[in-house]
Amino acid sequence: DIQMTQSPSSLSASVGDRVTITCRASQGISNYLAWFQQKPGKAPKSLIYAASSLQSGVPSKFSGSGSGTDFTLTISSLQPEDFATYYCQQYNSYPLTFGQGTKVEIK
């Protein structure tokens, strides 16, 4: 199975900060990497597919990069509505696997 490791597990940031979350795969997954945002008590929301492509309707302040084993999600200017938990997921092979999540909190 492919293990997905996110770092950090949590971070505190201020409105307007640039935030970067890292996701590392235990083996190469090409660009078959998705990112999701989840707010408390809500369903996940798809943000990015194929490592760097924005889902329809997702604001351009979100960006993704990487290929192979190392990936990043960047939020260019953190807004109050961005405080949430973010997950990466590989869909290169079964079983599909998620990172453990990164909680972005208000400083």
Residues of the shown chain interacting with another protein in the complex, contacts defined by CB under 8 A:
32, 34, 36, 38, 42-46, 49-50, 53, 55, 87, 89, 91, 94-101
* Residue 49 or 83 with smaller CB distance to another protein: 49
Cis peptide before 95 (omega within 30 of 0): yes
* Residue 14 or 94 with smaller CB distance to another protein: 94
* Residue 15 or 50 with smaller CB distance to another protein: 50
Minimum CB distance to another protein, residue 14 (Å)? 25
> What CA–CA distance (Å, rounded) separates 75 from 16?
10
Q: Which long-range contacts (CB under 8 A, 24 or more apart) does 57-65 make?
A: 62/35, 64/33, 64/35
* Residue 24 or 45 with smaller CB distance to another protein: 45
Helices (H) and strands (E) in the chain, counts: 0, 11
Minimum CB distance to another protein, residue 90 (Å)? 10
